[in-house]
Every structure is written in structure tokens, then in C-alpha cells.
Amino acid sequence: MSEPIIQEQYITDTLETNYMPYAMSVIVSRAIPEIDGFKPSHRKLLYTMYKMGLLTGRLTKSANVVGSTMKLNPHGDAAIYETMVRLTEGHQALLHPFVESKGNFGRQYSRDMAYAASRYTEVKLAGICNEIFANIDKNTVDFVDNYDGNLKEPTLLPVTFPNILVNPNQGIAVGMASNICSFNLKEICDATIEVMKNPEADLTEIIKGPDFSTGGEVLYNEETMREVFTTGRGSIKLRGKYRYDKKQNCIDIYEIPYTTTVEAIIEKIVDLIKGNKFKEVSDIRDETDKKGLKITIDLKRGTDPEKVMAKIFKHTSLQDSFPCNFNILVEGSPMVLGVNDILCEWLRFRKNSVKRYLEFEIGKKSERLHLLEGLEKILLDIDKAVKIVRETEEDAMVVPNLMKGFGIDEVQADFVAEIKLRNLNKEYILKRTADIENLKKEIEDLKSTLESPKKIEKVIEKQLKEIAKKYGEERRTTIVSEEEATEVVVEETIPEFRCRLYRTKHNYIKKISVQALRMSGEHKLKEEDEIIQEIEVNNTDHVLMFASSGDVYKTRVHDIPDCRASQIGEYLPNLLGMESGEDVVGMIITSDYKGSILFCFENGKMAKVDIKGYETKTKRKKLSNAYSLSSPLVTMFYITEDIELCAFSNIGKALVFNTSQIALKTTKNTQGVSVMLSKKGSIVNKVCTLEECPFTEAKYYRTKNIPAKGAFIKQEDTGNEQLSFDDM
């Protein structure tokens, strides 16, 4: 009976035998760059051009290079040419292009500007490739067979500077990706020298931030930059540059973020104009030419250009972000590394290359010295050497007879035997042997360097300084502080009207205008849900939502969708983008950030914090460490002036106090000061205003100073609805 066509197989076996080899091939051999800063496709292309003599020769047709590269990279001419395009100076994708080019190679900043076919364009290697291939033929890196075993290719290129951080690189593999931004060459060389001295050095003082070929501005945030430098992950904000032509009443955008294109920006602005959101703009056009990028925006008379640009930054990719993911291959393993770690790995790779070069040079010079030392012995008696050669009857015996006659080895004897008869004279031999002492000194110096890590570092440091001086350029991307960049803020025209907010126990919120409230019926709520906070506000007010995680989420009343009483409302975690598992524990409304917030904790402590500490110049939607988590939060109050409060404990005690007795703190997550002292492990379980709990005699529960233990609630006060022991 024949085997069935369809056979059952475990999915794990299929993944292991079929999918995993493919995934690893994509990760290791295609998408993720290695420590030299190149993917295999880049390396194969550049090495082919190097072997073609294009480092010093004339330009050649791109088609010639593409065809030759297929001997190492059999992935098709279109893929190879596309790889080459990105490496050219004409495409303007790299800070330091590796390929000089002639012809149309498109532009990094343009989506629609297509590059010409390979038969029309010409290329050669740029001067900086001298540093990419330095001493590649002197055993500095390993070589392996190409795909058909007929040629050798390098596994890495012996780059003499940290190219991995100097030019940008992006790759998408299977289950992982890499996105490395570019940095200024001079800054990277200086930083590498500093890392050699101190691997834990603070590089943010040397490397100001990323530097992109398209220029623009980096909106510098110290916390984010340190995160990128430390972990290799983080999002860096970028934005374009513009100038206002007062005479023509137009804005010229002349540099854009590396992550976007001219077409994307123009299309978005056009959509906004069509949507009636850009009434200040009369026309927009792309005026990019050979001189460079230029987007011109004509303004209507009386328009403020700063406000227009603030809108463009907000609504288009002229202000964008670069998501850093410094994922590189180190000895075949993908690793996400920070800048310091990448430079340390590169230094380890570079030191190994220098050692291999020194060993190669020592070997070559030692071989040369050995031959010359044999030749020097011939100098003692040239006639004897001639006689030995002349009297030897068999050709095969010339070398053995010379070895026997002068006490030299076979290699030396063979070298002497190959010297032409006309050169077998004293003058020739003296000239050749004059280098013996120099060779001995050179070999001694090379061995001394090879055996000293400090001397190897000096060699690398010298090379880095020379490269920075020869190829270094001024920054193209300007560093601007985030606060400075957001000074011009265009507030949307927000309609002012009174409305009421309702917050429920299950984290829902309703916003109902006062006018709509008059016609509303009963509130619709989810099962077992209830309204726990109700407050009348203005549509322009700011909302602070305090989460159980200790963070605060900020929004505006305007950003909360309008609702009807018959609707459930908006789910706060979705509306605010809260983390999983977080609950809203308090809501504060303010219009001017004046006054303070009083946090009341179970341990009897209370913290009075200036609400000004929650105000930010930027439109940040989340602030960390908004209040202390040292003890569970009972409640919070927003007070613009001091008020009378009453705290209750779970053992039936009450304490009346004035908030003026609590000192104002500047630190948001302060633990506060003790107000109600614990007795036998009691906790505070309720705090309310004195008006909410009218005692028959309030002074009975008041003390002159805090902290205090409070007084047991009188029998006549327990009948009060607000003070029923069910709440305790």
C-alpha cells in the first residue's frame, strides 16, 4: 500500500525544520547589520567594486558593477542596484556616502523621484572607502567561499572608524528589526577615544545627538537621549527647518526629517486645506530643484507665519520621530546595544583587526629578514658561491650544496640560487642587506606594539583622529531643546460652555452639557456600577486623572466626547491610553493651575502639593510619580484656599483639622506629614469636608495641634447619615 499524499506532522517539527532555518538566514545573512556597519548585500557590493579597481580608477557604468556583484550576491540585478543607489552621494541617504555617482539616483527625501536605470548611471568608490578597506589584504579579517566556491569574500570589512553609528541602517528580519540612526563622524571618533579610556563614560556630553543627511532639527530631551545611549531603544523627535519670506509673504521649508518625504508633507497639508483646517494658506507647491529641497507655502494677508508653522508641525510629518532600535549582529548573534556597548564591541573588533595586521606584518618582515640574513652570509665569500653553483653537476643539487657550503637553510639557499648572475656582486648584495638593521628595528617595534594593549589603543586613537580631521564635517542636524521648540503653541479655538462630569466606580466618565442635562432622564450605568464623583466644569478646563500606579494622566474637558445620560460614557483607560491594570483613583479639574492638592493616605499621613507642579509647557499626557504609593490613597481634595476637614478611622474615631496646619510641599510624590495617629493598627478610611458631616459639637473632635489620635464619635453623632458605621 502506497504512502498517503497528505501526512500528519506536528507544527513544532514543521517550524523547526522549515521555518527556523529561513528565519535565521534572514536575521544573520540579510537584514541585520554587523559590527562593521554593513549588511551582507552592502559588503558584497563594495568589495566587488574594490576588486574592480574602482577605488582609484575612473567611473564605470553601474550595470558593470551590478553584473560583477552577482558573482557574490545572486539575488538579482534589481535588488543589487537598489542597494547601490542608497550608498551613493547622489541619493543623499548617508552622511558619508561610499559611492561617488554620476546621473540620476533619486533622492532620500522624495518618494516619487525615481532613479535612472543602471545602464545610464556611473559610479566609483568614494575616498572614505580607503578607511573601509584599509589593509584588507593583510589578514585583518576572515574570508570565506562565495556561494559557488569559486571566489573568496570577506566576512567583515576592516573599517577603521565606527561606521555602524556614522551611517543610518534599517532592516526588518523575522521576529526582529533594526533601526540605527546616524551620528556625526567627528563626534563618534571623539566618543570612541573616550570609551577606550573609560567604557562607562557619559557620551551625551560628546555626542550631542543624531545627525542626518537631510538636516533638520533634533528636539533634544535629555531623558530620552540617555535612554537611547544606554539601552539602544527610544524615540527621538525630529522636525524640519523653514524661513519666512516677508517680501513674498510665503514660508519656504528647506530641510525635512530623515523619516519623511516631500510628497507626504505636501499631501497632508493639501488634505488639511481641503478640510477647511488651513484657511491661512492660499497655495502650496514643490519647488525642489538641483539646488536642493524647497516646499513653498503662500500665506494669506495678515497671517502669522509662526502659528501656521506650529499647525504644520502638529498635523504633518514635518515634525516626526525616529524610533531607535540598535539591533546589530555580534559574532553572529543579534543584540540590542546602547551607544557605549556598540563602541566597546567595535573596539574589540578593531583591536583584533589591528593585532592580525601586526602579526601579518611581523611575519612578512621576518621572512624578508630571514632571506637577507642568508644573503649576508654569501657576502663573506661570493666567489665560493659562484664556484658551488658552477661546479654542481645537477640542477637539483644547487640548493643543497649552497646550504652545506654556507650553513643556511633551504629557503635562504633557494633565494640566493634565484639571483641573476649579473647581480651576484658585492655592490648588489650590500644594497640588499643594508635593510637588515632597519627590519630588525621595525620587527621589534611591531612586536612591542602587538604585546601592549595600550600601544594598540594608541594606533586606533591616531587613526580615529586622522579620519575625523580628513573626513569630519560640521553637523547638518541642529540640536534644539524640546522646551525651546514648543514655545509657539497654537491653541485651537475651543468653545466655552458649562458642563458636568460624572465619574463612575468602574472607570467610566460622562460629559454632559448643562443645557442637555435639563432634558436628560435617568443615568444609564453598567451593572453594579455607580457614580462616585460629579463636578460642574468649563469646556476649556484641564483634567488630571490620578491612576492607581502613582501616575497622572492629563487631558482637557474639550477632549472628552460629549455624552447623554442614556449612554454608558467613555471608558477612561481607553480614552487616556492607560496601562493594563491601572484604575483611576481621583479626578481634579483646574483652569489655571492655582491652589494645591491634598492627598489623604490610610496611614494617617496627608500631603499638600502645589498643583503648579503638574503643569507642563508641552502637551504631555502622562506624568510619572504623581503622588506617593507608600500607603494606600483614601481620597484627594483640590483646594484653592484652606478648608476644614474631618478624618475618620476604622475604629470609630474622628479628627477635625484645618488644611492650613499642613505644610505645602514641592515634591509631588512626598509621603506627607502625620495628621491622624494610628491606635492599635487603626487606619484612616474616610476624609470629608466638615460641612458634609455636621456634628452637634465639632470642637469636641478638634485638637490644637496635629498629629493627634482624634476622639471617639459620640452616640448622638452616629445617627447622622453621613457618619453611619457602615462607611467606617
CB 216, CB 308: distance < 8 Å: no
Q: Which among 626, 700, 625, 613 has a CA at the least distance from the CA of 664?
A: 613
CB 563, CB 499: distance < 8 Å: no
Measured CA to CA, the distance from residue 638 to residue 640 in angstroms comes to 7
Residues 6+ apart with CB under 8 A from 519: none
Q: What is the 3-state secondary structure (H, E, C) of 318-331?
A: CEEEEEEECEEEEC
CB 637, CB 686: distance < 8 Å: no
Measured CA to CA, the distance from residue 161 to residue 346 in angstroms comes to 9
Which amino acid is residue 307, in one-letter code? K
Residues 6+ apart with CB under 8 A from 360: 138, 139, 140
DSSP H or E run through 684: strand 684-689
CB 687, CB 645: distance < 8 Å: yes
Residues 6+ apart with CB under 8 A from 62: 81, 84, 103, 118, 119, 121, 122, 123
**Beta strand 684-689 pairing with 542-547:** unpaired
Compute how many other C-beta atoms are within 10 angstroms of the C-beta atom of residue 712.
Answer: 15
Q: Which among 597, 595, 591 has a CA at the least distance from the CA of 537?
A: 591
Measured CA to CA, the distance from residue 515 to residue 537 in angstroms comes to 13
β strands within 103-230, DSSP E: 122-125, 143-145, 152-154, 169-172, 177-180, 217-220
Across 484-521, b (16+ Cβ under 10 Å) vs e yields ebbeeeeeeeeeeeebbbbbbebbbbbbbbeeeeeeee
Q: Coil, helix or strand for 524? A: coil
CB 69, CB 44: distance < 8 Å: yes
Residues 6+ apart with CB under 8 A from 368: 435, 439
Q: Coil, helix or strand for 205? A: helix
**Beta strand 478-481 pairing with 333-336:** unpaired
DSSP string, 384-423: HHHHHHHH--SGGGHHHHHHHHHT--HHHHHHHHTS-GGG
Residue 482: all three cell numbers together: 524640546
**Beta strand 217-220 pairing with 478-481:** parallel
Bond before 707 cis per omega within 30 degrees: yes
Residue 296: all three cell numbers together: 513653498
Question: Which residues are catalytic, by number?
Answer: 120
CB 216, CB 255: distance < 8 Å: yes
Compute how many other C-beta atoms are within 10 angstroms of the C-beta atom of residue 530.
Answer: 10
Measured CA to CA, the distance from residue 91 to residue 83 in angstroms comes to 11
Measured CA to CA, the distance from residue 352 to residue 460 in angstroms comes to 11
DSSP H or E run through 716: helix 715-718
Measured CA to CA, the distance from residue 678 to residue 605 in angstroms comes to 10
Measured CA to CA, the distance from residue 121 to residue 54 in angstroms comes to 15
